[in-house]
Amino acid sequence: MSYLWTFIWTFLLIHMATYVVSSMNGAAYEFVTATILAVITTAALFVIGTIIPKPHTEQH
């Protein structure tokens, strides 16, 4: 379930950022380009999440 929510939030935030940047540049908003960026960013987040070591808790 966490993978789904990660993709949904990444999808929404990348689309929002793409829309704002394209508006500021005077370019046309392209849905397909934003979707491809969202998929790539989601995959990168999953890879980074597996690479970063988890903190060890001290046992008393």
Q: Would you list the DSSP string of 3-32?
A: HHHHHHHHHHHHHHHHHHHHHHHTPPP-HH
- Both structure tokens of 38: 């969202």
Alpha-carbon span 45 to 9, nearest angstrom: 12
Alpha-carbon span 1 to 35, nearest angstrom: 20
pLDDT digits 0-9 by tens, 5-33: 999 999 999 999 999 999 999 999 999 99
Per-residue model confidence (pLDDT) at position 56: 83
Per-residue model confidence (pLDDT) at position 53: 85
pLDDT digits 0-9 by tens, 28-51: 999 999 999 999 999 999 999 999
Domain limits of the chain?
2-51
Per-residue model confidence (pLDDT) at position 59: 77
For residue 38, give the nearest of 20, 55, 13 by alpha carbon: 13
Percent share of the chain, pLDDT over 90: 82
